Structure 1
Amino acid sequence: MLAALGLAGGLSLTGGPGGILRATAATRADVAGSMPSASAAAEEIKTEFLHAWNGYKQFAWGHDEVHPLSGTYSEFFVPGQPIGLSIIEALDTLYVMELDQELAAGVQWIEGNLSFDIDGDFHVFEAIIRVVGGLLAGYLATGSHSLLALTVDITDRLMPAFAKSPTGMPYQYVNLRTGEVSGNTPPLAEIGTNILEFGLLSRLTGDRKYYDAAKTAYRAAIAKRSSINLMATSLNVETGQWADTTDQAPNPPSDSFYEYLWGGWALLGDRQCRDWFVMLNDALTTYASETYDGNVWYKQVDFQTGALVGRNQSELASFYAEVLGHAGDLPLGAAYYRSWTAVLDKFPVLPEEIDYTTITATSKGNQFRPEYANASFDLYFQTMDPYYASTAYQYFQGMKANARTANGYTVLDDVTTTPMQQGDLFPAYGFAENFKYLYLIFGGSPRFNSKNFYLSTEGKILRGLLPAR
């Protein structure tokens, strides 16, 4: 029988396991003053996850994504071809939250209904991080060999995107039935965000072809860096030529290209990935990072000269704070996280994009984004500083107050209005990421090893799941 992990790694408490979280001096007093006990916060987060999950079950079971306001659903990859994407995304979240009946129902649906013999184009990047990663994490959680078999099936169907490319960098789309490929100019994130899922699958199957394909793609892209080790944004996979000249990192659509370089080392022990990350990140620190009005940001620069191009920032880049911490530059990572917390103090739900010179929203919606919570989660476990728990709870309260609906949660069309304007979609990744990061900070799940874990860019627990007791 596994002992419970208590309070997810040791938040500073008063009064033992049921005590009140006490903030360090770094924690904002107004947040700390309203913090519940860790166990109460975990139950609140779990309750809200179930609120979203029950809305999906009511209106969209077996379909990819739910529209909670209209009580309808949609498919993510191919119209009219559901693959139960929300179920796949939720598997390891259900496991660590000990929602075993829900998990069993999800696995039963997958085993009885899921087929990838689909005559339609799947977005390779999304299929890898969502479907391959989700099924892998589900297999690690349950030991279901049918989930592993399905992982192999869809990955093999995606492989023509790599194998048919003259450079080895993947095409953007592949028809799962015919293997026909299309989309010859992907951004960096779509080229490099595969080594974690492919590397782990190679380990589990003993077949190196997946890992080798990921390394080949990385090698081809990194060979195109400039003399100052910066990368532009999109590459033609047939000619190997850049389609632009701007280094956007760590903003999308470059973001997870860098994240997975570090992950290739952290999860798979690939020293070349580590060295590539250090080389490229050093260049970003030199040419792109800056302190503006007391906050640390990443400007957009010309990849050949380092000259300024722009000063916009995407919420999707906020995850990079935790990557910096993992990679040994915790002061820079912590400073970047504080910059985003300053935005959270102004907008209770983070806007999609900001002009960081004025902290104004340039894209006013929020697609139920998890990246800030991702950074909170990782930085908390790196440091055990309650500041990251308290700011994560602040993020959670903002989402709960504004994105909650009668039948679940939804995206927001405008976070600058009062009340905020709600959309009508709950992205499947919400079941994989936001609630999981938050719950694990506070929940002390006996099924999660908070001392030795690694999660994918889509929040899939690829290392760190513990057996159910």
Structure 2
Amino acid sequence: MLRALGAVAAAGGMLATTSVPGSARRDWKPVADAVREEYLWAWRQYVERALGADHIKPISGGREDFFVEGHSVGLSLVEAVDTLWLMEADAEVAQAVQWIVDDLDFDIDAPFQVFETNIRVVGGLAAAYHCTGDQRLLERAEDVADRLLPAFTQSPTGLPYRYVNLATGAVSDPETNIVEIGTYIVEFGVLSQWTGDNRYYDLAKRAMRVAYDKRTELGLLPHDINAETGRWRNRQATVGPPGDSYYEYLWDGFRLFGDPELKQWYDTLTGAILSEQAERHDGMLWFPQVDAFTGEVLSREQSVLAGFYAGLLAESGHVAEGRAYHDAFTAVQERFGVIPTSVDYSTMTATRVDTALRPEFADSALMLWLATGDEVFRERARTHFENMVATSKTTYGFASLTDVTAEPPSQEDTCPGYWWSEQMKYYWLLFSDTPRLDYRDNYLSTEANLLRGARR
């Protein structure tokens, strides 16, 4: 299903512009080569200056912890393995795997955020196992997943607590949201498949069911919930954070495991979202935040993270709506060059001018391209890539931006771990036609961890 793509990276700090739809099919190999070259250059900087750190500081070359100060778990490295493998960087994969086997230790007496640890660390290790077949990586994924289970088993409702101490199993913080209680079934589900231990899948699905069963009469879900009482903590429904990946994992759980209940829940909630939240403004489709009980529009601020929803809609059969929503974010990209963290779409102004190397636009471009074969989505992703290089590349890697409206955009000395897993992988899969992926039968998690479709 994957077709062929290619262009030239932007130079001299100039932002690219998206080519017109319907442009002639191109050779996209130069773009793929540029993506791989930039990624492997950044990887070398990380290995030389920050190996084992959660993050490299791309401006200063320093190290940064993500989960707990003083306790790195090699997050960027764990997130990078399957991307390196897809790029056929086998020496780099071997180096990363050896570090995981020799140096990665989860016996840490400190609270870790359960949601982030699952999607990034469990997911990264599971993807590394899927790509390499190295049983030791599956064992490490099991190890950390087992350390997360008390967040579920100690909850009176089945909704997981936000934090768990990886060494002691002590849980904390019941004030959570539907993303942090409902983004486990993919990673836990593949562990159940691969190990035969159904606890993982059952606990993840139970938490999703608790939230689904509390939907309002409009069929919507407020996004904040208490894990101990099971009561909603607010009234606002959103397809952006912190609501986004709950919906994503209903569909993904059905795709991966064929669970008809998950599809039923997804279809019910998506029908309500399209009926009660979708609105057109200046001819573009948007999804405002609404009161889940009344449908009243509460905010027309749109997070860059909500851009993933265009791809999810397309994947699940709502292709026209997915395309229209991606068109809306494309208008934001064309206005700002780099999509800011949030915009008020009623005025098309940035409400937060920073951005943290967000991948959601490229994610949905990949999903829409796979769903439609339309080259315009490759063109949009090429623009996204070239503008990222032009604005974020710095001395030792790629930096988040503090202000996309500045000339030039101002950089921050941080590179998130998901950069290694997400957008560079999306670009590579869009532009490379890599033989290491089954383009007809594959699966990428919310963190872009490859959990189906690796061709060894």
Q: Smaller-chain TM-score range?
A: over 0.9
CA distance in 2, matches of 1:53, 1:190: 30
1:243 maps onto 2:253 in alignment: no
Counting only pairs closer than 5 Å after superposition, residues 144-159 of structure 1 correspond to structure 2 as 144-159=134-149
1:344 maps onto 2:337 in alignment: no
- Is contact 2:354-2:403 (8 Å) kept? yes
CA distance in 2, matches of 1:110, 1:282: 43
- Counterpart for residue 160 of structure 1: 150
Which consecutive unaligned segments of at least 5 residues does structure 1 have?
1-7, 21-26
Counting only pairs closer than 5 Å after superposition, residues 170-181 of structure 1 correspond to structure 2 as 170-181=160-171
- Is contact 1:54-1:408 (8 Å) kept? no
- Is contact 1:231-1:303 (8 Å) kept? yes
Counting only pairs closer than 5 Å after superposition, residues 97-116 of structure 1 correspond to structure 2 as 97-116=87-106
Q: Flag the 1:323–1:31 CA change in 2: closer, same or farther, 3 A.
A: closer
Question: Which of residues 69, 72, 88 in structure 1 aligns to 2:62?
Answer: 72
- Counterpart for residue 5 of structure 1: none
CA distance in 2, matches of 1:439, 1:219: 35
What's the RMSD between the two structures over aligned residues?
Answer: 1.7
- Is contact 1:68-1:410 (8 Å) kept? yes
Q: Write out per-residue CA displacement over residues 306-362 of structure 1, whole angstroms, 9 at most, x where no aligned residue.
A: 111111100000011111011111000000000000100011111000000011110
Counting only pairs closer than 5 Å after superposition, residues 46-445 of structure 1 correspond to structure 2 as 46-248=36-238, 250-445=239-434
CA distance in 2, matches of 1:372, 1:134: 21
CA distance in 2, matches of 1:436, 1:326: 18
Q: Compute the displacement of 1:28 (Å).
A: 5.3
CA distance in 2, matches of 1:284, 1:36: 37
CA distance in 2, matches of 1:293, 1:84: 45
CA distance in 2, matches of 1:388, 1:379: 7
Aligned residue for 2:280, secondary structure, equals: strand
Normalised TM-score (structure 1):
0.93
CA distance in 2, matches of 1:347, 1:44: 23
Q: Compute the displacement of 1:30 (Å).
A: 5.8
Aligned residue for 1:235, secondary structure, equals: strand
CA distance in 2, matches of 1:246, 1:398: 33
Moved more, 76-85 or 154-163: 76-85
Q: Flag the 1:399–1:375 CA change in 2: closer, same or farther, 3 A.
A: same
CA distance in 2, matches of 1:447, 1:10: 15
- Is contact 2:341-2:353 (8 Å) kept? yes
Aligned residue for 2:224, secondary structure, equals: coil
Q: Compute the displacement of 1:71 (Å).
A: 1.3
Q: Compute the displacement of 1:398 (Å).
A: 0.7
Q: Compute the displacement of 1:390 (Å).
A: 0.5
Give the count of matched residue pairs. Answer: 448
Structure 2 residue identity aligned to 1:379: L
CA distance in 2, matches of 1:361, 1:99: 38
Q: Write out per-residue CA displacement over residues 251-279 of structure 1, whole angstroms, 9 at most, x where no aligned residue.
A: 10111000000001111111111110110
CA distance in 2, matches of 1:201, 1:28: 41
CA distance in 1, matches of 2:180, 2:137: 24
Q: Compute the displacement of 1:363 (Å).
A: 0.7
Q: Flag the 1:68–1:103 CA change in 2: closer, same or farther, 3 A.
A: same
Q: Compute the displacement of 1:29 (Å).
A: 3.9
CA distance in 1, matches of 2:90, 2:147: 31
Q: Compute the displacement of 1:385 (Å).
A: 0.7
Q: Percent identity?
A: 44
Q: Compute the displacement of 1:19 (Å).
A: 10
CA distance in 2, matches of 1:157, 1:29: 48
Normalised TM-score (structure 2):
0.96
CA distance in 1, matches of 2:23, 2:278: 33
- Counterpart for residue 12 of structure 2: none
Structure 2 residue identity aligned to 1:180: A
Q: Compute the displacement of 1:185 (Å).
A: 1.4
Moved more, 54-63 or 280-289: 54-63
Aligned residue for 1:71, secondary structure, equals: coil
Q: Write out per-residue CA displacement over residues 224-249 of structure 1, whole angstroms, 9 at most, x where no aligned residue.
A: 1111111111110111111111112x
CA distance in 2, matches of 1:419, 1:30: 26
CA distance in 2, matches of 1:76, 1:229: 36
Q: Compute the displacement of 1:51 (Å).
A: 2.2
CA distance in 2, matches of 1:68, 1:318: 26
CA distance in 2, matches of 1:286, 1:367: 31
- Is contact 2:50-2:63 (8 Å) kept? yes
CA distance in 2, matches of 1:156, 1:460: 19
- Counterpart for residue 3 of structure 1: none
Aligned residue for 2:350, secondary structure, equals: strand
Q: Compute the displacement of 1:37 (Å).
A: 2.8
- Counterpart for residue 3 of structure 2: 10
- Is contact 1:35-1:390 (8 Å) kept? no
Structure 2 residue identity aligned to 1:299: P
Aligned residue for 1:155, secondary structure, equals: helix
Structure 2 residue identity aligned to 1:308: V
- Is contact 2:284-2:327 (8 Å) kept? yes
